[in-house]
A and B are shown apart, each in its own frame.
Chain A
Amino acid sequence: MIGLLNYWVVFALMLLGLYMTISSSNLVKKVVGLNIFQTSVFIFFISMGKVTGGTAPILDEAYSAYSNPLPHVLILTAIVVGVATTALALALIVRIREGYGSIEESYIRDKDRESGS
Chain B
Amino acid sequence: MLVILSVALLRMRDLFTVAMLTGIYSLVIACFFMLQDAVDVAFTEAAVGAGITTVLFLATLSMVGREEAPASRIHLPALACTLAVGALLVYASQDMPAWGDPNAPVHQHVAPRYIEQSADEVGPPNIVTSVLASYRGYDTMGEVGVVFTAAIGVLLLLGNGTRRRRDSDGDSEDQT
Contacts and interface: CB of A to CB of B under 8 A. Distances in A.
Task: Decide whether A and B assemble into one complex.
Answer: yes
B95 to A, nearest CB: 10
Given A26-B68, A46-B33, A11 B89 contact: yes
A13 B6 CA distance: 7
A79 B119 contact: no
Contacts of A83: 48-49, 52-53, 56
Given A25-B71, A46-B33, A57 B143 contact: no
Nearest to A104: B69
Interface in A1-55: 2-9, 11-20, 22-26, 28-29, 32-33, 35-36, 39, 42-43, 46-55
Contacts, number: 255
- The main secondary structure of chain B at its interface with chain A is helix
Interface in B74-112: 74-75, 77-79, 81-83, 85-86, 89-90, 93-94, 96-102, 104, 106-107, 110-111
Nearest to B2: A13
Contact of B153 (A39, A51, A88): A88
By size class, the interface of chain B is 35 or more
A111 interface: no
Contact of A18 (B45, B85, B125): B85
A80 B101 contact: no
B44 to A, nearest CB: 5
B22 A35 contact: yes
A28 B114 contact: no
A68 B29 contact: no
Interface string B24-47: 011001001100111111001100
Nearest to A80: B143
B82 A15 contact: yes
Nearest to B45: A79
Nearest to B75: A23
A80 to B, nearest CB: 6
B170 interface: no
Contact of A7 (B74, B96, B143): B96
5 nearest A-B pairs in the assembled complex, by CB-CB distance: A3-B98, A23-B75, A52-B100, A84-B150, A22-B78
Interface of A: 2-9, 11-20, 22-26, 28-29, 32-33, 35-36, 39, 42-43, 46-60, 65-77, 79-88, 90-95, 97-98, 103-104, 106-107
5 contacts: A8-B93, A36-B9, A42-B29, A59-B115, A88-B150
